[in-house]
Structure 1
Amino acid sequence: MSATEKNISRRNFIRLSGMTGAALTIGFYFPATGKEEAEVMKLETAEAKGIDLNAWISIDTNGKVTITNHRSEMGQGSFQSVPQIIAEELEVDLNNVNIIFAQGNNAKYGSQITGGSSTIRGSYKKLLHLSASAREMLIQAAAKKWNVSPIECYAENGFVIHKSSGKKFNYGELVTEASKLEPPKSVKLKDIEEYKIIRKPMPRQDTPLKTNGTAIFGLDKKLPGMMYAVVERNPRFQGKVKSFDETEAKKVPGVKHVFPVKMSVFNTFREGVAVVADNLWSAMQGRKVLKVEWDDSGFEHLSTEQLYTRMSDALKSNDSLSVRTRGNAEGVFQKSASKVEAIYETPYEAHACMEPLNCVAHYQDDKLEIWGPIQGPDWVQDFLSPLMGLPKEKIIVNMTFLGGGFGRKAFMDYPHEAAIISKEIKAPVKVVWTREDDTAQGPFRPGMMYQCRGSVTANGGIESFIMKSAGQNMDHQWPNADKKSYNNSATEGFLETYFESLPHYSFSDAPLDVPIPVMWWRSVYASTNTFALESFMDELAVKAGKDPLEFRKQHFQEGRYHELVNKLEEVSGWKSRKKNEGYGVAIAESFSSIVGEVVKVSKKPDGKLKVDKVWAVMDCGWYVNPDIIKAQIEGSIIMGLGAAVTHAIHFADGKTVEQNFNVYKMPRMMDTPEIEIHIMDNEEKAGGVGEPSLPPIAPALTNAIFDLTAKRIRKLPFNLEEV
């Protein structure tokens, strides 16, 4: 399977994909009313009706299969998983599938945002149906050639074979005839036990591209006549450019332009001064000698201490927005004789993608074209259309591979900045953010504080559960936002089965309004909520005198949760843990998947703590490639461990303190414990994979430390060496 950096339009599909001659091309058409089921349609029929197809599959006369991937690939594995789905029902060799990145076009593809662990769970049924339809059309074409019934034929490895005679046609020999047929109205999909490719640990087809240098990332993209730009941005998030002196910058060989620039960031504009040169080095050297005077009046210059003081005050106040309630949690808590109360704190975090932000833009009077590591190409179109004064269809967004995203590259500020610079210089430009730019400018994962209160009954069950969160609400930053609206993600991470079993609960939100830009970070609010929720669940178990895992199980209403915990108990050896070992458990539900994790800790000879092992069990329902799932779980666990014990973002006088990896430290190989992963096999609907394993790791770790040392950690990050 290979990738091309060229993007497709309906009429240029065959030319751009390098296909030969005639082809069988089918895709989905979604009726405009949205009330009808999607219809599988041939390209020829769609063109005759003036319709754009979604999720195309095309097979040429050589039997080569080409598909479009309407989502980005940032390491999560869609570049492998989508073809694996197609190859299964189409009955072709996975190595004979070519994939092309689609351009931004939500009218054609629906949502193209790669986030919320949604790529597979949002499209797998359609992809299975589409590829099975193509297979059946090829079988019908072969049966017609042989003058036999289609039920006498079957497809295998890119061929249609006649059962009794053994005669066969390869797909390439059938596409001309198949393209004259109408797609079947219904097709029978394989049962899970019939899968040959899906649920198998197939090697990723993009790995060779990323190791031999042929994969095109944003930083690799070049255009004829392209200039390079870096921007000196105000280090305070809402500051303005008061004045600047470009004299020394313009003396640097290669520097061509120096001018102020603004990019839209939520409900404000981030201001800076762009230095544009004919090479990146010159632009960076020009920025070093640029002199800028900033106007930082009119907004608060907050420190980390001030931010958390405000969160603490918010928790103490009676003001909050009710999110979800049942029964009379406050009344029951107040009357209880067995109460628990705790405050938890989580830090601000940077996204720290290995590929810093970058974007190529070319503004040409009546259109704007963009290339780059972008998680939401359709979002970029929607965002830039009014800002640039162009119709949405005149903004062409091309996706490249992403060197990590974690939500940051779903934002639209950096494409806007590149578009503004290109328009100003009347030439294509690549805007590159340094590591310091990327780390210091945000937006960040919001820091949060949680007040948890609860009570248990005499027989050890939860009778009340109350959580009040304080921190920034991402949705409150947008223009004309309703700041009286509660945080829709305030319960993210909490098991749905608990909402069924707990008689009295209350979740509320006390939003903080400060000039620090915050946004999605891997697993969004589940990454912070779950630390509080599952730490407090552990504290309730201790209060009830129950085993923490058994305590959770007694509040499960559905068998699916029991099966996951039974598996976790089995593989971790939970019931046979030894006296000088600490075991902690945490379970979270997010993005339609359930993940349980157990952490084992012990003491080194010098008395300091070490993390020995992590066991993770994921129930993501229907899945594609277990190797990709395991890689995503491992990555999530390591990222979550980093946020628990290694790194955090701090602020002083309204500016970010940490700006590079020398102070915003990443976990090293030596810091990574053994990780053992298990995937539940069932036929539930597909859930997310890229994010749900991050939330449980921090509480599982701190719960394990409590089990070993009786020390309860309620604030992240903490230093393992100092526990």
Structure 2
Amino acid sequence: METNALSRRNFLRVSGIAGSALCLGFYFPANAKKGELITVNTADLSGFEFNAWIRIDANGKVTLTDHRAEMGQGSFQSVPQIIAEELEVDLKDINVVFAQGDPVKYGSQITGGSSTIRGSYKKLLKLSATAREMLITAAANKWNVPASECYAGSGYVIHKPSGKKLHYGELVADASKLTPPKEVKLKDASAYKLIRKPLQRMDTPMKTNGEAIFGLDKKLPGMVYAVVERSPRLRGKVKSFDGSAALKVPGVKQVFKIQMMVFNTTRDGVVVIANSTWAAMQGRKALHVEWDESGFEHVNTADIYKAHEDLLKTKEGLSFKKQGDPDGILNKADKKIDVIYQTPYQAHAAMEPLNCIAHYQPDKIEIWGPIQAPDWVQGDITSKFKMPKGKVIVNMTFLGGGFGRKAFLDYTHEAVAISKEIGAPVQVVWTREDDIKQGPYRAGISYRGQGSVENGEISALKFKMAGQNIDHWNGPSRDKANNSTAEGFLKPYYDSIKNLSFADVPYEMPLPNMWWRSVYASTNGFAYESFMNEMAVLAGKDQLDFRRQYLKDERCQALISKMEEVSGWKSRKKNEGFGVAITECFETTVGQVVKVSRNAAGKVKIDKVWAVMDCGWYVNPDIITAQIEGSVVMALGAATIHEITFKDGLVEQHNFYDYLMPRMSDMPLVEVHIMENPADAGGVGEPGLPPFAPALTDAIYDLTGNRIRKLPFNMNAI
């Protein structure tokens, strides 16, 4: 680092902060992934904007700046648990605040890909241990004793021989003047007192007593409210509109046309501004809008899947991965299968609908809301409104669910555009109908699986997928296979199956598609693991034994043994159906066993789900259990209850009355087991979803002999 001259301003700032607090953070040179640990003194002397990840004040209170969103996944608990462990403070003494969007300060801030813990835990452990060692050194210097005679606990530094102790608050001024040690010793997992413990979440009380601020709770002085009547078709344009009746609604102030960016195209809408959300909604009902829908393909759901099937049967597609000669083996094979699987379009349907507050001013833009990617929003608004990045301030609130939708940039762009038009702060609220009918959606995808068996072993596998590619909406080349063609398929299979190929058959459709929880693994997992179950039957093998034969690495073998043990796989009874699936995404492998039976009315019911997760290093087993249970709920809905369908190019669903959600009575018992091993941390929030559907349909096949290859299906019709 080059040290700049100490200006009067920086001197005052350094002396003011350093004299009252110990502040530690990371500097990310050129937005590098690996940050350099620094104090506020170093940051100011070097001219860096400081990111105070940890701040300990003169009262010993620890403030943690969380650079990622909290949308129910538990970062407001897991991250403090990491900090408290190595810092040796009580959890109750940690206050968590959201960081503003700034990739220069914080690196990547996207809450997606199950990356919050796996992407930050090593930095956080080191940061906390560094602060602890600096406080110990400060105390040892005060006492004029060796630091080796001192230790930290519950926010104090204690001198072992004498029993003397000093509170962290008494030490921060001296500690802040020290140079952080380059290397610190971290605890062994066997010494953890907080990490790996099922501690209750600290954000639960505030989320149940109304203290937590979600997007819709935030208010600004002089703020008005807006709803938007948007084109029901992505490329539909406003031909004309009449807002006279809307302006007669009490509270309605303005009506005007707006455009929002959706990827690299635009969507038209008519905005109603009012003094309350209710008034704006009533004003929208009184609008009359005529849309120009010329040139739009009026597609139906059945047409989409028919096109998929035709492509899978007639096109080889773009090769993603190929080893050996699967085509040659399949052409000569006597014992083989050739089947198609299909998965539906899905809405995100987060419990909190989209909303965003924006205040456009000539010299700055400020945003508040439930945002999964504040750094992306900052960059997007900077580009689109030609405002210097430092003048675009993105503030996160709590999110009531996101699942990828709130990492998208359309709703924040729209809010800023409306605020600029009216010259005032505005809160734009999407209704549930807006959210479900506008998208973007998880794309519906079809798969063709071809496989052969010789002497009871796989001789060849060939997979092709046809469906919309998320990457194509952002404009890259169409001549490359979908980067996620094989997502969800376990890597050890590549070592044991000699003849194997994956291909992507491009399919274009003007329907906005986007990430959805576990992204392509949620659809790939159903196809690939269902096919492996069919291959096991073709080979005459038990499904778990079959996988053990091909997943030969140590972690997979241990996971399979655990699945077999906890589910009682080897002692299955008559009139019970058992199914299995194992998938991998975001560096975590999850195996699930599903048990089904028939109820007194003869209907198939799900009795129990056993989920075994290998995520390597982890923080809180209760949060993991909650995430897997939530994943099973979401997977159950997508497999058996809801889907987005299209008629004449329009979405047919509106709200929860026709985009149904699983009920409590639908939910089976879920038993979660976490594998213990020294591997690096993997993701937790998403990997529990993909194995459920293939395990469920395998269980149904085991019970009924009915092989399900198309989702969703009706449990009551089996």
Pairwise same-fold verdict (TM > 0.5): yes
CA gap of 1:201–1:33, structure 2 versus 1, over 3 A, is closer
Indicate the SS of the match to 1:32.
helix
C-alpha distance in 1, partners of 2:31/2:635? Answer: 42
Question: Aligned match of 1:521 in 511, 516, 527?
Answer: 516
Q: Which residue of 2 aligns with 1:99?
A: 96
The reply on whether 1:356 has 2:366 as its aligned counterpart is no
Cα shift readout 1:644-670 (whole Å, capped 9, x = no counterpart): 001000011111100100010000000
Question: Aligned match of 2:507 in 482, 505, 512?
Answer: 512
C-alpha distance in 1, partners of 2:686/2:81? Answer: 21
CA gap of 1:76–1:14, structure 2 versus 1, over 3 A, is farther
State the superposition RMSD in angstroms.
Answer: 1.7
Indicate the SS of the match to 2:29.
coil
Q: Which residue of 1 aligns with 2:541?
A: 546
- Counterpart of 1:172, as a letter, is G
Question: Aligned match of 1:594 in 577, 580, 589?
Answer: 589
Structure 1 residue 20 displacement after superposition: 11
Is the Cα–Cα contact under 8 Å of residues 20 and 62 in structure 1 kept in the other structure? Answer: no
Cα shift readout 1:183-230 (whole Å, capped 9, x = no counterpart): 111000000000000000111011011011110100001100000000
Which structure 2 residues correspond to residues 165-564 of structure 1 after superposition, within 5 A?
Answer: 165-458=162-455, 460-478=456-474, 480-564=475-559
Structure 1 residue 54 displacement after superposition: 4.2
Q: Which residue of 2 aligns with 1:4?
A: none
C-alpha distance in 1, partners of 2:15/2:686? Answer: 37
C-alpha distance in 1, partners of 2:629/2:19? Answer: 44
Q: Which residue of 2 aligns with 1:654?
A: 649
Question: Aligned match of 1:112 in 109, 120, 127?
Answer: 109
Structure 1 residue 240 displacement after superposition: 0.6
CA gap of 1:30–1:20, structure 2 versus 1, over 3 A, is closer
Q: Which runs of 5+ in 2 are unaligned?
A: 1-9
Question: Aligned match of 2:158 in 144, 158, 161?
Answer: 161
Structure 1 residue 21 displacement after superposition: 6.8
C-alpha distance in 1, partners of 2:29/2:712? Answer: 50
Q: Which residue of 1 aligns with 2:4?
A: none
Structure 1 residue 299 displacement after superposition: 2.0
CA gap of 1:387–1:34, structure 2 versus 1, over 3 A, is closer
Is the Cα–Cα contact under 8 Å of residues 55 and 127 in structure 1 kept in the other structure? Answer: no
CA gap of 1:579–1:14, structure 2 versus 1, over 3 A, is farther
Question: Aligned match of 1:708 in 684, 703, 716?
Answer: 703
Is the Cα–Cα contact under 8 Å of residues 20 and 61 in structure 1 kept in the other structure? Answer: no
Structure 1 residue 165 displacement after superposition: 1.3
Q: Which residue of 2 aligns with 1:5?
A: none
C-alpha distance in 1, partners of 2:169/2:199? Answer: 25
Cα shift readout 1:543-592 (whole Å, capped 9, x = no counterpart): 00000010001001211001011011100000000011000000000000
**Greater CA drift, 579-588 or 480-489:** 480-489
Question: Aligned match of 2:611 in 603, 608, 616?
Answer: 616
Indicate the SS of the match to 2:393.
strand
Q: Which runs of 5+ in 1 are unaligned?
A: 1-9
Indicate the SS of the match to 1:370.
strand
Is the Cα–Cα contact under 8 Å of residues 22 and 56 in structure 2 kept in the other structure? Answer: yes
Structure 1 residue 32 displacement after superposition: 3.2
C-alpha distance in 2, partners of 1:457/1:164? Answer: 73
Is the Cα–Cα contact under 8 Å of residues 55 and 70 in structure 1 kept in the other structure? Answer: no
Structure 1 residue 11 displacement after superposition: 12
Which structure 2 residues correspond to residues 559-574 of structure 1 after superposition, within 5 A?
Answer: 559-574=554-569
CA gap of 1:388–1:33, structure 2 versus 1, over 3 A, is closer
Cα shift readout 1:298-321 (whole Å, capped 9, x = no counterpart): 221111111111111111122411
- Counterpart of 2:668, as a letter, is P
C-alpha distance in 2, partners of 1:370/1:234? Answer: 25
State the aligned residue count.
Answer: 709
Cα shift readout 1:227-250 (whole Å, capped 9, x = no counterpart): 000000111121110000011001
Structure-1-length-normalised TM-score: 0.96
C-alpha distance in 2, partners of 1:719/1:103? Answer: 45
**Greater CA drift, 710-719 or 167-176:** 167-176
Q: Which residue of 2 aligns with 1:6?
A: none
Indicate the SS of the match to 1:439.
helix
C-alpha distance in 2, partners of 1:76/1:443? Answer: 22
**Greater CA drift, 497-506 or 687-696:** 497-506
C-alpha distance in 2, partners of 1:190/1:53? Answer: 27
Is the Cα–Cα contact under 8 Å of residues 32 and 107 in structure 2 kept in the other structure? Answer: no
Is the Cα–Cα contact under 8 Å of residues 195 and 619 in structure 2 kept in the other structure? Answer: yes
Question: Aligned match of 1:693 in 684, 688, 694?
Answer: 688
Is the Cα–Cα contact under 8 Å of residues 621 and 681 in structure 1 kept in the other structure? Answer: yes
Is the Cα–Cα contact under 8 Å of residues 18 and 40 in structure 2 kept in the other structure? Answer: no
Question: Aligned match of 2:679 in 684, 687, 702?
Answer: 684
Indicate the SS of the match to 1:26.
strand
- State the percentage of identical aligned residues: 64
